[in-house]
Structure 1
Amino acid sequence: MRYFDNHADTLTELPEGGSLYENENDVDLKRVDAFADTYTQVFALWRDMAQVDNKRVDEEFERVYDRARGLIAAQSGRVELVTDAKSMHAAHAAGHAAAFLSLEDASFAGSHISEAYDRGIRFCMLAWNYENSYACGAACDQRRGLTQRGRKLVCQLVGQGMVMDASHLSDAGVDDLLSLVEGPVIASHSNARAVCNVPRNLPDRYIEEIARRGGIIGLNLFAPFVADDPSVDDVLRHADHIMEIGGEDVLAMGADFDGCDGLFPKGIAGVQSIPSLRAAFATSFGEELAEKVFFTNSEAFIERNF
């Protein structure tokens, strides 16, 4: 099968000495190789900024960025760091996985944020769970949006070619973002608020607008964002609702592996559970639509925008 996932924290969460080929985290290449002949993963660069010394943000970003690239380079015979559709397809043609980089919280990049695109990062979230100098996270205050500095940053990044990611952003922040960006916006790992009413999930109006712009929405497998006591059936409910509102071309995967603290719906244990999840999609929605959700929609987005 083919698999494209729009959000994993693996490169940040691997312990020192860990390997992207085989590890005890949620994602490794060995487990993916067991079921996928074509694989693309968007890996997030992230740190909880409450745990980072403000005076050493630049240094910490450099460390995480260099380590992420090093973990990919160490598996050069299996995975390639890519930045566009051409390099993604070349990696797949060589039998390798393709890895994109995203930035989860623009403030983590510190003074390097203006260089993020040139460093190969292609997706950017303005905030994580907190409020920073650019924006406010959904878990903090839904009424506070982008700051003036955040507005300027969005214009700068989009002008460079960066795709903005609305996941983690407050509702007011998403409104601000959509007012500034004419083109596509994604939500890499967000579900439907109408199905599970938590701040991190998307209200219908954002699902509709992201779809209208040709963006994608990645289903998040973090249990509290799925249901109170979730199963795979609850994941399917989110999928059904998002497609009802936004159409079948908007839905993708953004499992949030290594960002879920092991809290998954029943039947999900990590990336090794993807084949059974896809089978459930094929049973419920048909093979053609399952292929779109698990690969084609995301591939098409890359082809349209990079």
Structure 2
Amino acid sequence: MLAVFSPFSCLPHAFAATAPTQQVMHVPGSPDFLAVDGASVWVMNRGRVEHWSVSGKLAEVKLGHPCGAMSVAFGSLWVADCKANTLNRIDLKTAQKDVVIQTGIANPRGELNVVSGEGSIWVASDGSGKVARVDPLTNKVIASIPVDSETYYLAFGYGALWGVSATHNTLQKIDPQTNTVVKKTALGRAPGFLAAGEGAVWVQEQGDGTVARVSPETGEVSGRVKVDNSLMYGDIDAGGGKVWLRTTDHQTFVVIDPQTLAIRARVGAQTGSGALRYTPEGIWTTSHDIHVLAWWAKPENIGN
């Protein structure tokens, strides 16, 4: 069932006049993490991952306990399974699980992510402090990188892998040429998901309700923006000249100017926890508590 609506009654009047509409797809279960696949998107759900477009559901693949944010790369969807402690490779064309890789999974609660970069797939593989590097040509683990314990959250960008430990409150810059941590940055309370783009690495400091902007060259915090009292638990992406922050309180997502750190828009009704991904054509969001996948078209008009 598809619907189009614009629930902005809770928003300040200044935002309501230019509020975008959303196309809503009702997804039974608990739709959560997202991975963009061209004009479509893969959605994590209970016991399965599902392939969706704005026209509806395209396919599904059953897994024991899919968990964490996923990655689309090398013709495949890469997704962690917190029940089997494995990394799973799913063929994008056939929607079939091709390969199961014994990596280990660092956070069995499911707050983690799989990322791609420098010709590899990366996943936090051990809560004591390890990141597995997987070669997509051989489907083998080719390196196990020591990091701070409970480093669950990863991003790749600016020639480096970036990992966040929520208990050590650190951002770690990992050189893919040496598979070593070359810089650590102190963060605020309970940092979580992060994104690399729009000139910086962006980290949710969930316990402080802030987003930290980190220079990829120096690894130093170059600014912060206060968003809410808390950002437990959300998601973040960067693209199109903006930073996109999925929030739990007060709105669906927030748009941040990467240069001035001004909040350019607070968009949508409060719908609880969920995920977000940017594309040049639109923004995908999920709200797992109300079983919704949403598409917000024309991101260049959001927050202007």
Q: Quick check: TM above 0.5?
A: no
Higher strand share: 2
Which has the larger share of helix? Answer: 1
TM-score w.r.t. length of structure 1: 0.34
